[in-house]
Amino acid sequence: MAFDFSGREFQALYAANEIALLGLSRECVILFWNRGAKALFGFEASEVVGKPPGESLLAGEDEGPFKEALALAFQGATQQLHEQRTFNRFHEPLYVDCDFAPTKDEKGAVLHVIVVCRDVTRAFEVGKLLVNTGERLEAIFNSTNDGLLLVDPDWRILAANRRFGEIFNLEPAKVVGKSDLEVRRIVMSQFREPEQFMQEVDSIMQRWDFTGTQEMWLTDGRLIERYTAPVKDQAGNNLGRLWVFHDATLQYEAEMALETQLLHVSSLYALSRELTAKLSLEDLYQVLFESVSQRLNLDSFFIHLYHSESENEEIETVMLVDRVDETFRRFEPGRRIPLSQSFCEPVVHQKKPILLNRPEPKAHEALLQPFGNVKRRSRSLMFVPMLDGERVIGVLSAQSYTPDAFAENELQFFAGIANQAALAFSNAHLIEELRNKNEELLRVSEESLKAKRKS
């Protein structure tokens, strides 16, 4: 039975260059091939009519999906095939969408199948590009070290990245679709000032054009910098709001450490000038105690001088101060004990500072020598050697009756004070020795003069 080309609609469709139109028989042979098919695939009708589509329409590609759709169409069902990959006669890749429409006789039996093909190559390539771009954006979205949260104009969460979940201990996927207020109520307990946090966001909600950065402290000690800005399209219409959360804790701690270090350097410089202005050891002891007590939160303070002139190493305690009980003791020169019986021994031999927070009484019994209120024990202790080059002059100790009173940076600062004190003590000893020698020379000269006069 010949195919009927008499219908006007079919004739118009057949004549269109934009649409590829072909007819297939039950034997899967091409019955007709319009100009649109020639424009799309590059073959003339005379080259393909009477032949199977595998030689033209599906050249070099898997015919399986096409044949399955065609078989279903011959059973009377309209079929669609999307993004079928094939080649034209010039071996250029194509992606086509195909519609399969069965034509039936008066009894409903399928006679032929008309296939309409549309070139979707460009759309496929653009779609693939968009998918790849979306995947890249998603990768960037989740790889950044900042927490990202995107809300729509109705304050419903559109997206939240991995880092946002880590900062606030949430699963990002579970907050998407929720209202901003609902999620804020979940995380508000993590803020030191929860009410202030809620009020600030409420205020921003009333000002869609607001852009700015704010600092927020969490209860676990972290500092979070929050940046927010509206998201707009090219026409200026609001599409939502972006929130960026940056954990600035390490940066803040580094800045504070630098500031503390600069303060310590300034303090050490001032202390060195003050110590070098004092010539007597008694004055040095007092200046050293006052300087340390102003800069460290201590309860008791000790000064010990190290002596290694004799065969046995000895330690001389020259000052003990208890600020809590206002107990002050300054020992007479010459009162010494063996170094091996003193808690100063490891500090002198290792020439390194020691920090003990929450010491075990039994393990550090030698270090916990009370005076004043003998029922009290130090719970935080710092011991630092006074070093003049490699030579140990003595040991300074600052102690507190509160656990965890001192930090590592304070230990380093205290060590710096000890080194300044060592230099001052060395100079004071030299001056004292010169003074003693001058006095001895003066005494000898006077005795010699008296002896000459008598003779």
pLDDT tens, position by position, 7-66: 555 555 566 556 788 888 888 888 888 888 888 888 888 888 888 887 666 644 567 888
Measured CA to CA, the distance from residue 419 to residue 203 in angstroms comes to: 55
One-character DSSP codes across 193-208: SHHHHHHHHHHHHT-T
Q: Is residue 322 part of a domain?
A: yes
Query: What CATH number is given to the structural domain containing 44?
Result: 3.30.450.20
Task: Kindly state the average pLDDT of the residues 92-106.
Answer: 86
Cβ neighbour number for residue 326 with a 10 Å cutoff: 8
Give yes or no for a contact between 65 and 79, defined as CB atoms under 8 angstroms apart: no
Q: Which residue has the higher pLDDT, 244 or 437?
A: 244
pLDDT at 153 over 90: no
Q: Is 372 in the same domain as 310?
A: yes
Per-residue model confidence (pLDDT) at position 86: 85
28 and 71 together in one domain: yes
Interval 272-295 mean pLDDT: 71
pLDDT in tens, 112-126: 888 888 888 877 776
Distance CA 25, CA 31 (A): 7
Query: Band of the pLDDT at 1, cuts 50, 70, 90?
Result: very low
Q: Are residues 415 and 297 in the same domain?
A: yes
**SS3 (DSSP) at 359:** coil
Mean pLDDT of 187-207: 90
Of 188, 212, 247, which closes a domain?
247
Give the total number of structural domains in the chain: 3
Residues 219, 326 within the same domain: no
Residues 162, 119, single domain; the answer is no
State the pLDDT at residue 3: 43
Q: Which of 184-193, 273-282, 351-360 has the highest mean pLDDT?
A: 184-193
Evaluate if residue 218 carries a pLDDT over 90: yes
Whether 439 is in a domain gets the answer no
* 87 CB neighbour count, 10 Å cutoff: 17
| pLDDT given at position 27 | 84
Strand stretches in 110-195, DSSP E: 110-119, 147-151, 157-160
Task: Give the domain CATH number at 424.
Answer: 3.30.450.40
Residue 411 lies in a domain: yes
CB atoms closer than 10 angstroms to residue 76:
11
Residues near 105 by beta carbon (within 8 Å), at least 6 away in sequence? 111
**What is the pTM (predicted TM-score) of this model?**
0.43
Q: Tell me, what's the pLDDT at 220? A: 92
> What is the per-residue pLDDT for 56?
60
More confident: 187 or 389: 187
Tell me what the mean pLDDT of segment 226-242 comes to.
84
Same domain, 236 and 298: no
Sheet holding 110-119, edge to edge: 30-33, 20-24, 110-119, 93-104, 79-87
- Do residue 120 and residue 152 come from a single domain? no
- Sort 426 into a burial class: Cβ within 10 Å, 0-12 / 13-18 / 19+: middle
Q: Are residues 58 and 192 in the same domain?
A: no
What mean pLDDT is predicted for residues 334-346?
Answer: 79
In a domain, 210, yes or no: yes
Structural domain harbouring 82:
8-126
Average pLDDT, the chain: 78
Q: Give yes or no: residues 113 and 167 share one domain.
A: no
Share of the chain above pLDDT 90, in %: 7
pLDDT, tens digit, 9 for 90 and up, residues 154-193 = 888 888 888 899 999 999 888 888 888 889 998 989 999 9
User: How high is the pLDDT of residue 2?
Assistant: 40
Residue 5 has pLDDT above 50, yes or no: no
The answer to whether residues 71 and 172 belong to one domain is no
What is the rounded CA–CA span in Å between residue 358 and residue 360? 7
What gap in Å lies between CA 25 and CA 27, rounded to an integer? Answer: 5
Instruction: Please check whether residues 232 and 195 belong to one and the same domain.
Output: yes
Helix, coil or strand: residue 169 = coil
C-alpha–C-alpha distance, residues 412 and 414, integer Å? 5
Whether residue 183 lies inside any domain: the answer is yes
Residue 345 and residue 300 in contact, taking contact as beta carbons nearer than 8 Å? no
In a domain, 406, yes or no: yes
Q: Is the pLDDT of residue 139 over 70?
A: no
Instruction: Look at residue 399 in the predicted model and tell me its pLDDT.
Output: 87
Residues 108, 201 share a domain:
no
**Is 353 contained in some domain?**
yes
284 token code pair: 């040095």
Higher pLDDT among residues 73 and 267, named by residue:
73
- Better pLDDT: 3 or 285: 285
Is the residue at 135 inside a domain? no
Taking only the tens place, the pLDDT of each residue in 306-335 is: 888 767 888 888 888 887 766 656 555 557
